[in-house]
Structure 1
Amino acid sequence: MATATEPFQPTSSSGSLSSAQFPQLEILDSSIPHAFLLPNKFINDGPDVSRFLVSQAYRDIGIFLMQLNRSLCPRKTSSGSGTGPSKVFPLNSADRQDPESVQRLHSLLGEIMTLIDAAPPDPGPRRFGNVSFRKWYNLLEQNVETLLKQHVSADVLGFPAPDVPDGENSRVGAIDELRSYLLGAFGSPQRLDYGTGHELSFFAFLGCLWKLGAFKDGAQGGDIERSIVLGVFEPYLKVIRKLILTYTLEPAGSHGVWGLDDHSFMPYIFGSAQFTRPITENDTMPLEGSVERAPRPGDITKSDAVERLREINMYFSAIGFINDVKKGPFWEHSPILYDISGIKDGWGKINKGMIKMFNAEVLSKFPVVQHFPFGSLFSWDVDPNAAAPQQSVHMANQPLTTTAASAASLAGSTTAPWAQTARAGGLGRPNVRLAETVDAQPAGLVSLDAVRPSGPRGTSGAQISITKAPWTK
């Protein structure tokens, strides 16, 4: 059983395992009734993030992410005379035959997108998100159960649950958990924003479907996982991008230009995996190197290369969307991506760093995971094999509620609560650079709240310093 950090712990690129030994997200036995729960919020204070990092939900997110990530890595092929050309997995490939489950989810996303036509953006002047997004979201809420019943197998939605005694509340079913994660995947109608927490909710929606056996109709050995990413997750991103453009949704919890991306993270993980060094079905994920004829990471700064590659690769597709919505020098509006583009050790190194950064910047951040709900499929229960999360800058700087902060202040100190945070490492901490971030333990990664590029791309001098505000010298 994987521990709390193992799902995100890269293994040596020289390793070789049987394909059956790679961790996979469990699929529930449909012959055994499952007690479903209405997903609820459990992360209310910063310290709750530490509890999340030892939960079964965290473990399952990590396992499923690594499972999908590895499926996109190019594969070695052999010919009669030896090793043949590598097989890569572009976004649009005639060789990929998506199973019915994936095709139906693709249609589900198509119908969700068409709801935009029924809620045109408000033409009035506005500074932030368009209020018509709330009309669109209300339409989604009204239609979500019908859409699920149309596009998800009845066997999945009717997954057996324990009988409810007479007089008690009606039974909670699979559709209740699926509905919660799907509705959480398209932004906030209250704040008119979208961010990586919503992206995580859609990822959990796919994980719930996997656990319920929705993807059993796909070929095993990586094919079904590739179909999930390329045939469902990428179309989901297209819906999101149209929502952002139509309703000018604000970034949720954005670091501004000092973050990786205003809205998404996962396409950079999956897209970098598409260009890594090829492996066999029994090889572990490569930690460096690139497939033959892969574009250089620096090509993200060339608009013609981005336009050519955005239709075949998720990383470049995400970069293309940035170019659609932002103007000016790339290094200026996307300095972290610009810095990463100078890494010399190939797409495998970038993929490794993206996974660790996701663990630090998404899963270990209170503003991102505070809205994630926990049910039975992604459970708040403690993973019995989880290791205690390591103390890090993230964990020392998690916010407290007003009540908790006041109690901490009254407990034995006249100093303000934020002064305690500063002593714990929030201020004056030593420099931590991106090269160290890539190779650090996942739970010990650092925040990118304040970063600045400071030298040629991909060099130690260009990596991330977090001791000063970006505008200081």
Structure 2
Amino acid sequence: MEPRAMAASAAQRRPSPLHPKLERLDPAKPHTFIRPTKRIIEGSDMSHFLTSGAYRDIMLFIFQLNRSLCPRKKTAGSSAPTPTPTPGPPRARARADPNVQTFTLSAGRNSDIEPIKKLRELLKKVDAIIDEAPPDKNAGRRFGYAQFRDFYALLEQRADSLLKEYLPQHVLGFSTQQQPPESGEGRVGPMEELKAYFLGSWGSQQRLDYGTGHELSFLVFLGCLYKLGAFQDDSRDTDEISRSIVFGVIEPYLKVARRLILTYMLEPAGSHGVWGLDDHSFMPYIFGSAQLTRPISSETEPMPLEGSVAGAPKPSDVVKVELANPHKEENMYFSAIGFINDVKTGPFWEHSPMLFDISGITDGWGKVNKGMLKMYDAEVLHKFPVVQHFPFGSLFSWEADPAAAKPERTVHMAQQPTATLPQGGGGGTRTPWAQTGGTTGGIAAPMLPRNPPAAAAAAAAGDAGASSGRFVSDVPSTFPQGDPGTASAQYSITAAPWAKKK
């Protein structure tokens, strides 16, 4: 810890960038890899997680990817080509600003760097395994076809060969350092860490579920690759590479995950039920809203807290299929909405009340994006049922971040379980508000009042005290502030616009 503390102290003396990026390891220096293990055993471990290097790096990587998707203004004298207007309905094309560059899903992927293309081929291989383990449609199950375990077993058997075939060789051959004898470990290489997160990205074979914890595992898999220099390319800037990671890898991953969900009827993991943002995913709502924010004019300008790019659909368009569908091939937010519309029936406000609340925001996609970042931290990274199975290695470390502030005690911290939840039958998917007790080990969650459409829309428009909707009331108004250049310091520029002022 002493060298690390010294490095942190030196870093604090140097000017920190306003928008720090995830740090890459120096390939010239041997690195001690660690076999990833579970460390979050009970609720009290959450405080340590929120000050860990892993938490810091997860947030840094999300902020980095998020910012890369924000539209950019062309500056005077810029040599950048005039961008093609964003595809979409005629009204959107007519309003698009030719002096603003936007980034869409349909942009040509042929220009992606080779590691990005290889990862897409890897995802196609995973998708093809689904065909080798068809579900038994005669089983009559509402959730969780057991054949998902066959899919997972095949993937587990082939994981080593798949990663060796599709990951850069310089990553798999990254210089390793022998573990100290007292650790009981032999030489552990990058494969052990990468495989743990890769296999954790596809749902649980025990619980037959899929949720934001598995989505997080895939994000960390990509973060590990980034740290190991998999995406290093001197001809591309960091933002361009970050966009390629989101559009060229994360969106294709989400499509495979959605096929898994539909094929095997996977249950939502760690779900809030109807009161969650989405049954299974969160990332597309962060990145999709970033695509539509007000443009920035320089790399020092903070992400906008309100406003939208010219030609953007309105947040309220998500509630009508005919308005949402034209954008699902261009934007990740609307792509996720399209999946919901494909699998759910009935009024949108009834099956997706949280997203309906958000659709009433009138201050633009910048406000939605900032709220999504804060909500992700509160509803995913602060929740024991979501992160309890996350394993920690050397790349995303359990060690404390020397620059981290002490976590503030919020409603999320107060509601953590005080003992290990039972494994298997329901411990991983129990709703966060369920109470332990009784002979069955738990009781049903209380019925929550449902927002009527008019009240939900009014609350989402900006009145933080006007609604019982969880999108407003469950998000803490303050977050710990860390040193400049750290993940926790980012909240100084990304605080949710509707947060109450103290």
Q: TM-score, normalised by structure 1?
A: 0.82
Please give the residue correspondences for 1:289-368 in structure 2 after superposition, counting only pairs within 5 Å.
Answer: 289-368=307-386
Matched, 1:74 2:91: no
Q: CA deviation at 1:34?
A: 0.3
Counterpart contact for 2:456–2:469, Cα < 8 Å: no
**Secondary structure at 1:378's aligned position in 2?**
coil
Match of 1:255 in 2: 272
Alpha-carbon RMSD: 2.6
> Structure 1: which amino acid aligns with 2:272?
H
Cα separation, partners in 2 of 1:77 and 1:95, compared to 1, 3 Å: farther
Match of 2:142 in 1: 127
Please give the residue correspondences for 1:54-453 in structure 2 after superposition, counting only pairs within 5 Å.
Answer: 54-78=51-75, 85-94=99-108, 97-124=111-138, 125-163=140-178, 170-217=186-233, 219-279=236-296, 280-401=298-419, 450=448, 452-453=450-451
**Secondary structure at 2:104's aligned position in 1?**
coil
Aligned equivalents of 2:390, 2:448: Cα separation in 1: 25
Aligned equivalents of 1:340, 1:165: Cα separation in 2: 51
Q: Which runs of 5+ in 1 are unaligned?
A: 1-17, 404-416, 420-447, 467-473
Choose 22-31 or 79-88, whichever is displaced more.
79-88
**Secondary structure at 1:225's aligned position in 2?**
helix
Counterpart contact for 1:339–1:463, Cα < 8 Å: no
Aligned equivalents of 1:340, 1:308: Cα separation in 2: 20
After superposition, give the CA deviation of every residue in 1:143-170 in whole Å (9 maximum; x if it has no partner): 1111111111110011011146999754
Counterpart contact for 1:258–1:451, Cα < 8 Å: no
Cα separation, partners in 2 of 1:456 and 1:251, compared to 1, 3 Å: closer
After superposition, give the CA deviation of every residue in 1:121-178 in whole Å (9 maximum; x if it has no partner): 1122223211110000001000111111111111001101114699975411001000
Q: CA deviation at 1:284?
A: 1.5
Aligned equivalents of 1:20, 1:216: Cα separation in 2: 20
Cα separation, partners in 2 of 1:84 and 1:319, compared to 1, 3 Å: closer
> Structure 2: which amino acid aligns with 1:120?
P
Q: Give aligned pairs, total.
A: 409
Cα separation, partners in 2 of 1:178 and 1:450, compared to 1, 3 Å: farther
Aligned equivalents of 2:403, 2:410: Cα separation in 1: 21
Q: CA deviation at 1:19?
A: 11
Choose 270-279 or 254-263, whichever is displaced more.
254-263
Counterpart contact for 1:75–1:281, Cα < 8 Å: no
Q: CA deviation at 1:245?
A: 0.7
Q: CA deviation at 1:401?
A: 1.3
After superposition, give the CA deviation of every residue in 1:156-206 in whole Å (9 maximum; x if it has no partner): 011011146999754110010000000000000110000000000000000
Q: Which runs of 5+ in 2 are unaligned?
A: 1-14, 83-96, 422-434, 438-445, 471-502
Counterpart contact for 1:310–1:320, Cα < 8 Å: yes
After superposition, give the CA deviation of every residue in 1:190-239 in whole Å (9 maximum; x if it has no partner): 10000000000000000000000000026114000000000000000000
Question: What fraction of aligned residue pairs are identical, expressed as a percent?
Answer: 59
Alignment counterpart, residue 468 of structure 2, candidates 436, 440, 464 = 464
Counterpart contact for 1:19–1:282, Cα < 8 Å: no
**Secondary structure at 2:243's aligned position in 1?**
helix
Q: CA deviation at 1:50?
A: 1.1
> Structure 1: which amino acid aligns with 2:149?
R
After superposition, give the CA deviation of every residue in 1:331-357 in whole Å (9 maximum; x if it has no partner): 000001001001011000000000000
Aligned equivalents of 1:331, 1:96: Cα separation in 2: 39
